[in-house]
Amino acid sequence: MSRQRRPDTTAAMAELIGQIRSAIPLDLPEAQVCSDSCNACSLKLLEYLSAELENWESRLAAGEKPGLADLSQLARSARKIHRVLQKNGLIEEGEHTGA
């Protein structure tokens, strides 16, 4: 009986980054991000997440292998930021990161 092999953490991190980029609108104009209702600074959260993704993309390109804790931390941050963006009306309620 053959066991299905799980992707290594490098492939999993690349997949997670792709899921986050497709689920979270990182390139919204500042005028659209900064609206009247704001539970947290969406602009700063988007900038933070974008920097984290770029950091991991360059680390992966340099051959660094992330650990499971790295994957978990990025997924957790993305989920939290996604919830804030939903509360601020920048993402529809039905959309999710898949992370």
Burial level of 78, CB count in 10 A (0-12/13-18/19+)?
Answer: buried
> Which of 76, 81, 78, 75 minimizes the C-alpha distance to 41?
81
Residue 32 in any domain: the answer is no
Residue 38 in any domain: the answer is no
Structural domain count of the chain = 1
Residue 56 in any domain: the answer is yes
- pLDDT tens digit string along 3-27? 667 669 999 999 999 999 999 888 8
- pLDDT tens digit string along 64-88? 999 999 999 999 999 999 998 888 8
Residue 84 in any domain: the answer is yes
Here the tokens at position 16 are 């997670």
Residue 33 in any domain: the answer is no
Does residue 33 contact residue 42 with C-beta atoms inside 8 Å?
yes
Residue 37 in any domain: the answer is no
- Domain containing 70: what range? 8-23+43-99
Model-level pTM?
A: 0.78
Here the tokens at position 59 are 């680390």
Here the tokens at position 48 are 């933070």
Residue 34 in any domain: the answer is no
Residue 31 in any domain: the answer is no
Tracing tokens 């993305």 back to the chain, one arrives at 78
